[in-house]
Chain A
Amino acid sequence: MMKEKLQETSESGNSEMKRQRRRARMRDFGQSLCFLSPSLLGVGVFFIVPFFVVVYYSLIDGVGSRNFVYLDNYVRLFHNSAFQTAAKNTLQFSVIAVPLAVVLPILLALMLEARIPMKSQFRTFFLSPMMVPVASVVLIWQVLFNYNGTINEFLMVFGADRIDWLQSDYCQIVVMILFLWKTLGYNMILFMAGLANIPKELLEVADVEGAGEVYKFFAIKLRYLSPTVLFVTILSLINSFKVFREVYLLTGDYPYEKLYMLQHFMNNTFRSLDYQKLSSAAVVMAIVMVVLIALLFKAEDWFGKDVEG
């Protein structure tokens, strides 16, 4: 529209207007920069600049000697058995836990959407894990999952054998329950908001035409929820890294092998101050995250392309 207007004006007015517009744009840019600068400066100093240094550290052979070794550190990292175990466990955990952290909250949100009593109380209850201090979560998990703990007592009542939850292959299940317990409520709120945004008319039309609940869910609701699904997936991925906090407090530096995750690896490497290993691991993690996020964005584009802009 602006272009048409410009064409109507005469030559001289045209250049004058152009200059004015350029000046206005410069002023806008300056002003926007002014408002952004505190944050930008901080982000630059505390995140971007040091991250580039980390990239640099990952390419040299020692902070003292500073010889470029190109990708040697990365090659060493990938051959490191601790890193391999950690990466494998983290992958295994995320592949199972993240989809659960997406699907279960959708079900919870759908349940709360149906007309059942005590809806808002349930919402409050589901959100409550957000504020429980990590320490008491850990204590209670110990009470529940200890070899002499409540869950095993419970199993024994039914004549089943006790399980050494934290020192066997079951340990991932324990951590998964903890992870889900912490994140389900938050994710559920996200999905409830997503469900509330679906145009009511669409669902009404579907009702009139006699569509079943299942059909309505897959054909309509899920489509509209796709941006939320994307966000929750990414968020849960991040949160699955955060469970380390609890795992660490529950089991210490060197837990049962199946629980040794990337976070333990980073933490222990950090203790030994092996900057090369540490920085190459950080860079690898960053790259993997960016690639994953980009892929998820693409998937969402493809899946949600026919709803809204």
Chain B
Amino acid sequence: MKRKKKKKYFSRGVMFFLCLVFSVMFLLPTVLTITNSFMSETEIKANYGMIFATTQGGYVSKTVNLKFIPDKVTLSQYITGLIKSPDYLLKLWNSILLVVPIVILQVSVASVAAYSFTRWRGKIRSGLFFFYVILMLMPYQVTLVPNYLISSWLGILNTRWSIILPGMFAPFSVFLLTKFMRRIPYSLIEAAKVDGAGEWEIFTKICLPECRSALYSIAILVFIDYWNMVEQPLILLQDADAQPLSVFLSQINAGEIGLAFAMATVYMIPSLLLFLHGEEYLVEGIANSGSVKG
């Protein structure tokens, strides 16, 4: 018996150690981005100059130093990015103008649709729901061409709407929200009906309040997904001035790595805050997407 217990502690220790190792690997890029954003340009160049060998001038070390802690903490990168050049702030604003409408509109459209899928069922409608699931699972490369075609017909190519409108009708939220709503006890709806409430009333007064946390968790998931989008704006927005920061960041050239780290950190703040504040919701949201059926 004693030996068994010992073995248990030993295996737990091993697992703990493994988790620690994994944690370091998972956290490394996040931590590096944040700490390196406080380095001066010269320090960045000294550390990473070798990688982007095109950058000339200044001292370039022969080896690459992966450094966590800056020699001298400086806010110079942030000052350059946020105050000296308006470009980054503009792009950040573009990101907000794209993502916030998508989150609000997608969740709104989806909540109504999810109510329909929850409240009424039939052969046609369950077939339709399955179709939504399939659509949700299509890789972006498949929907890319249809997306582009419809945008050019509607004349919204190169405008924000070419990204917002398809985002608004993306089936992901419908799927997830339906799964949440189906867990609302049916007696609640039935009782409201007996009291003479109309469908719209049931929807707004019972359904929405009941799945408030679900709406929140879906909003977080949608936000994080679109906040980091790259493909859609690259293809649908030719105008560089309209690009969100997620695209612009990736185009910062090699001479400005330090700036890239700083701006990436700035860009990470909204998702980081949402993440830390709503982690429980986020986890619940992910957990509920767990199976495709039903």
B16 on the interface (CB 8 Å rule)? yes
Q: Are A189 and B286 in contact (CB under 8 A)?
A: yes
A133: chain B residues within 8 A (beta carbon) = 33, 228, 246, 249, 264, 267-268
Q: Is B137 an interface residue (CB 8 A)?
A: yes
Q: Known contacts A242-B140, A270-B144; is A136 also within 8 Å of B264 by CB?
A: yes
In the complex, what's the smallest C-beta–C-beta distance from A288 to chain B, in angstroms?
10
Contact between B29 and A54, CB atoms less than 8 A apart: no
Bound-state Cα–Cα, A232 to B181, Å: 22
Complex-state Cα separation, A181 to B268, whole angstroms: 17
Query: Which of A5-13, A43-51, A65-73, A77-85 has 4 or more CB atoms under 8 Å from chain B?
Result: A43-51
Interface of B is mostly: helix
Q: Are A42 and B165 in contact (CB under 8 A)?
A: yes
Of A31-39, A95-103, A168-176, A215-223, the segment with at least 4 beta carbons within 8 Å of chain B is A31-39
Give bound CA distance, A284 to B11, whole Å.
Answer: 48
Q: Please, which residue of chain B has its CB at the minimum distance from the CB of A226?
A: B291
Which residue of A33, A131, A135 contacts B272 across the interface (Cβ within 8 Å)?
A: A131
Are A127 and B282 closer than 8 Å at their CB atoms?
yes
> Is the beta-carbon distance between B145 and A140 smaller than 8 angstroms?
no
Question: Contacts A47-B169, A131-B271 known; A270 to B145 CB distance under 8 Å?
Answer: yes
Chain B, residue nearest A271 (CB): B235
**Bound CA–CA A141/B138 (angstroms):** 27
User: Shortest CB–CB separation between residue A237 and chain B, in angstroms?
Assistant: 8
- Is B145 a contact partner of A190 (Cβ separation < 8 A)? no
- A150–B64 contact, CB under 8 A? yes
Contact (Cβ within 8 A) B145 A193: no
Given contacts A116-B12, A116-B19, 13 further A-B contacts (CB under 8 A): A39-B112, A50-B150, A122-B19, A128-B27, A129-B26, A131-B275, A132-B29, A133-B267, A136-B261, A143-B51, A190-B287, A234-B137, A285-B142
Residue ranges of A at the interface with B (Cβ–Cβ < 8 Å): 28-29, 31-36, 38-40, 42-43, 45-47, 49-51, 53-54, 108, 111-112, 114-118, 121-140, 142-144, 146, 148-150, 153, 181, 184-186, 189-190, 192-194, 227-228, 230-231, 234-235, 238, 241-242, 244-245, 248-249, 262-263, 266-267, 270, 278-279, 282, 285-286, 289-290, 293, 297
B positions within 8 Å CB-CB of A: 11-12, 15-16, 18-19, 22-23, 25-30, 32-33, 48, 50-51, 63-64, 66, 109-110, 112-113, 115-117, 119-120, 122, 125, 128, 132, 134-135, 137-150, 165-166, 168-169, 171, 174, 199, 203, 224, 228, 230-231, 235, 246, 249-250, 252, 257, 260-261, 264-265, 267-268, 271-272, 275, 279, 282-283, 286-293
